[in-house]
Structure 1
């Protein structure tokens, strides 16, 4: 290890550096989590607006659409001009567009601010994730990707709790949580630095290698699939808990937090898991956990089993997402990581956006329990397909 490498290693393991880095990567979780508890109050406040039943949910979902469209653009720009050049301005735009909702009283202006917010999210998410892959290599990268997953899940649980409390006071107050983005921006601007391209890679060789999306299609499909299935948890299980199990709505938030906590804890142990299991074996075990969770929901209708299923779902989803990112960065060339991660972000947010659109027609035709059965079977079919595929 050269003196420069030792210096970089020291810098990238300092506590405040890690706080700045993973605060940046967890920012994007705030996108939907912060606003979701305010939706009922928003619906009531804008009830006099024509088509409010359509427009109010768009406040929650429209940023995801803009992430889908702009993440590949962000990836190309990051690979061309650098990560921090886009991360830092995007953090300011993200925070500014987010807090605007506190002052705006026109739903159309709020929706415009959410569109800008979605574009900024695409750049923050892509550049921050690529920074993690650029700062670390090998098993160290696996460890830090796990920490990133833990920070994301932990941030989700914390911000959901804060937003839930603030939404009880007013629908406006949760928008103020986006002020945290300015704090994260200050930390990032002080501690983060632009990783340099290794000198042993000839520049002409870099430029002559165009980015090809086809080798990444299986990874992108897995990202889309896991997000579409994992988001059945926050969108459908609350109805299952309250309407099928006749439990109190008060325990829904706790139930979702348990799933998020499981997601984060398993991600934190990803590096250790990879010591004993290959990337393919991790996929198989994670898919088995998710498939078993949905089959448990279908067969056993007790709250205790639902909690067990949520733990399995969180563990499976956490493992797949971290494993997917690790595999993506292992096969992507350093000068193509931005583009590779940009498309990954796009497919993952597309899965998140598409989840209710895919599941709702199925529920109307067959029912919620049948959806759980169908998902369980589908996941195990995918497990077999992954098992047969060479990696």
Structure 2
């Protein structure tokens, strides 16, 4: 398929390179993403008893923020594209602390849900703001810093829930105070992180058929870059797989008479730790492998992992399967973020990343809804078998669809650092 090229106009000045302090502040922000729901998971049963809730109502306490992150993400992304990243990130961190901790003061179920809904919008600002900041400020090291981001998120997913569990031993309101850690991180972000404001009136705007005062339309980029749609779909489906571990491994352990909360947390922590380890070396991996084999390896590992989980009849066998899932996700998550971030011009990077985040959260939200009905009549092992089949289908689609001759690259509407027409040293197709 032929592609129409738009004559390039002078490129905007590159963004100022940030220092180590800015990177530390952004990675500290990254620790808050995974723990958004996990930090209060240990006390959901206590909340249910205190407010006299049903099991479904108690579960909504955990999932409300995820749904709001997904729904508000595109609006947050548009705000980032219009105003820059630092304001959105700083405001999001402050709101994250305020509305997250507000749950500790809730006197009823409606008030608790309202605080969780507002918290979800704040979390969307944090997740998207820090991701776009990393991509904008370290364009030449995107693979490395996004690997670090994955590691930081995984560490936060282990550290903060453990603190929340300890505080939950005092009161179910205790874990909500963990969210206040976002306040000093907000101060660090304001002080150390430079604003990654998108340039205005560049060739990207002209190419989209708009003026200097109107941002380039994301719909235009999606039409010109169908690879983005594929990556969004991949993010959604792999999130379904990842949350199958979070939701159904504890239930399988209960069937195997492993019910101690600390023991159960070890199985989940192993998955997260494997993701963290891959993140530390992801930049080196990218120096040796192109995206195509990275995706294939990242999608093949969950097939093996879920197959082991489906066959497991002893707890140690489950412990052998979960790390494979973590390793696979450790490859896929930074790869999708970098691909989306570098496949679009800076003018729409906020929205492009926000859609990726929304797809991931929708996948998490949908995972128990899609796989749960299998567990009732067929058992948890059938859920893992279904997840292995789904992973195999995704890998097959990647092997046949995510290839240079199957994807249409977008026209180059912004020649700055080859960030629109080129990824991985070649077109987005590569």
Q: TM-score range by the shorter chain?
A: over 0.9
Separation in 1 of the partners of 2:201 and 2:285?
32
**Counterpart for residue 102 of structure 1:** 104
The structure 1 residue matched to 2:258, chosen from 247, 251, 264, is: 247
Q: How many residues align?
A: 379
Tell me the equivalent position of 2:218.
211
Kept in 1, the 8 Å contact 2:45–2:58? The answer is no
Deviations 1:296-355 (A, max 9, x none): 111232222211211101111121111111111121221111110111111110011111
Structure 1 segment 188-199 matched on structure 2, within 5 A: 188-197=189-198
Shift of 1:202: 4.3
Q: Tell me the CA shift for residue 222 of structure 1.
A: 0.8
Is contact 2:83–2:197 with CA below 8 Å preserved after alignment? no
How far apart are the structure 2 equivalents of 1:169 and 1:95?
20
Superposition map of 1:282-321 within 5 A: 282-321=294-333
Looking at structure 2, the residues matched to 59 and 386 of structure 1 have their Cα atoms a distance apart, in angstroms, of 35
Q: Report SS of the residue matched to 1:109.
A: helix
Q: Residues 69-93 of structure 1, C-alpha deviation per residue, up to 9 Å, x if partnerless?
A: 1101111111112112222112111
Once the two structures are TM-superposed, the CA of residue 207 in structure 1 deviates from its matched residue by 6.1
2:352 alignment partner, SS class: helix
Which has the larger displacement, 113-122 or 297-306?
297-306
In the TM superposition, residue 108 of structure 1 has moved relative to its aligned partner by: 0.8
Aligned to 1:26: 31
Deviations 1:115-137 (A, max 9, x none): 11111111221111111100012
Q: 1:344 aligns with which of 339, 356, 363?
A: 356
Counterpart in the other structure of 2:88? 86
What is the alpha-carbon root mean square deviation over aligned residues? 1.9
Task: Tell me which protein shows more helix as a share of its residues.
Answer: 1
2: CA distance, partners of 1:92 / 1:198:
26
In the alignment, is the contact (CA less than 8 A) between 1:286 and 1:319 conserved in 2? yes
Post-superposition Cα deviations, 1:340-374, rounded to whole Å, max 9, x if no partner, equal 01111111100111111111111123221111112
Q: Distance in 2 between matches of 1:300 and 1:202?
A: 56
Q: Secondary structure at the match of 1:194?
A: coil
Length-normalised TM-score, structure 1: 0.92
8 Å contact from structure 1 (residues 64, 350) kept in 2: yes
Q: Which residue of 2 aligns with 1:120?
A: 122
Answer yes or no: is the 8 Å Cα contact 1:206–1:335 preserved in 2.
no
Please say if residues 303 and 388 of structure 2, whose CA atoms lie closer than 8 Å, have aligned partners that are also in contact: yes
Distance 2:341 2:105 in 1: 41
Question: Structure 2: 5+ residue runs without aligned partners?
Answer: 1-12, 210-215, 404-428
Partner of 2:69: 67
- The answer on whether the counterparts of 2:85 and 2:197 sit within 8 Å (CA) in structure 1 is no
Cα offset for 1:201? 4.2
* Structure-2 separation of matches of 1:202 and 1:331: 15
Q: How far has the Cα of 1:248 moved from its partner?
A: 4.4
What's the offset of the Cα at 1:182? 0.6
The answer as to whether partners of 1:289 and 1:315 remain within 8 angstroms in 2 is yes
Q: 1:17 aligns with which of 14, 17, 22?
A: 22
Give the alignment of 1:167-246 within 5 angstroms. Answer: 167-197=168-198, 201-202=202-203, 204-205=205-206, 208=209, 209-212=216-219, 213-214=222-223, 215=226, 216-243=228-255, 245-246=256-257
User: What CA distance in whole angstroms lies between the structure 1 residues aligned with 2:173 and 2:314?
Assistant: 37
* 1:328 equivalent in structure 2: 340
Partner Cα distance (1:206, 1:178) in 2: 43
User: Counterpart in 2 of 1:155?
Assistant: 156
Does residue 42 of the first structure (1) align with residue 60 of the second (2)? no
> Which ranges of structure 1 fall in alignment gaps of 5 or more residues?
none
Residues 15-65 of structure 1: CA deviation (Å, up to 9, x unaligned) = x32221111233222310111111011111112xxx543322211111111
Distance 2:64 2:125 in 1: 16
